[in-house]
Structure 1
Amino acid sequence: MHTDQKPADSASPVYAFLEKPSMIDFPGHMCGVFFTSGCNFTCGFCHNAVLMGKKQKTLSWERLDEVCRQFKDEWVDAVCITGGEPTLEPGLLDLIDFFRRRGFKIKLDSNGSRPEILRECLPKVDLVAMDIKAGPSGYEKLAGFPNIEKIKESIQLIMNSGVDYEFRTTVITPFHTDEQMLEAGELIKGAKRYCLQAFVPQDALPGEEFRSLARTTPQRLHELEKLMAPFVDEVIVRGA
């Protein structure tokens, strides 16, 4: 029987999900990963390029309930809502409530472009991961998003929310110079956790110029680990 008094054929905000639970998307938990579609950034290095642009057809609430039951049987106790950009989705709060009623801990991924939506979501989630694409001078070039004040507002909301969080940057060697990273450090100064992630080239990346770039080296990631340490309580290197 379908739950939550929603029509069986009504559409949830979820476009797709990973069939296998993740052990890395929510540290310390077996996690189901769910994707929304549509994004207001134009990052040429995005690995989820299919979720950029226009919204895609989504799963019914009934199907989503079936997936949740299956995950529960596989010892999944948390979910990650990612995208795309979830805060563009009008049904995001309904989705969070849907997962909460099923007993999951909830992580929300966001690019920080819509602080007014983040403000509503923060009391309802357990962990937030916000991408820091660049320093203020690099956002428009790298992500096609010029409104750095929105980014700053989201950062402060997250840091002051009392909710567990992390900020993270995918390091692209030609772009993320020391100067660019120091700008990013000033954006998140005083944060408790900052993650540096390796850029991994793929043939399907939306920006052709990114497809032939080299993967970020462990040496560069560890250089930046030292560079960024004064700004935050903890720097984590991933993909080294």
Structure 2
Amino acid sequence: MMRRLLGIVVGLLMLGTVTATAHADNALTVKLTTPTAQRQESANKGYADLLTEKGATNKLTFTLQNSSDAPINVDVTPGTAGTSDNGAVVYGTQNWGENHFVNLPARMEQLITPEAKTVTVPAKGSATTSATTSVSVKTPDSGISGVLAGGVSFVQQQQTNATDSKTMFQSEVGYTVAVLNRTTNAILVPNLSIGDVNATLVNNQATVGIQMLNNTQTFLNGLM
């Protein structure tokens, strides 16, 4: 039963801090309105850190602004948090391997539902210079043993003419706002174990890859 409550973190070693208050990249800026369910310990932060009830659904509202002279379309997608190969937390990933979620019933991306998958943000010269969108965050009916971690990604898609006028390529500009959810303030003790170990050649140099598993639904910070 305990393993079924672990949620998303088994197979993922989670390090570091969450996303900052407001985010700007090129023309796009996104700001989260502080949720009513925000934990007091995380007041006035730019990320969602929710303390919720079993089975509850909470709404997160974001304001998107565009400093360019033309409207932009922004894709809104949920993600599940995990640790990248260089040790940084990635909050918006959707393609973690299935081995990260063995015997676990839910990922955060399955619990976050965007109001709209694409949002059009008007240009700065228009009458309305911002757009508002929201996502719903579902808390599992069984509650959360520890912390569920994920995020909401906002990606601006742009098309640019290549040297060959017949060829088009897309560049993506975006970032992720972290979303944490819990049903208790209790802090769990991490339980680290070692998974697969493999040796490979990178740039003609031998490297060893070690899979580290955090078997408790909590952050394991400062691993050296």
Greater per-residue helix proportion = 1
**TM-score under structure 1 normalisation?**
0.24
- Bigger Cα Rg: 2
**TM-score under structure 2 normalisation?**
0.25
Greater per-residue strand proportion = 2
The higher relative CO (CA closer than 8 Å, separation ≥ 6) is in 2
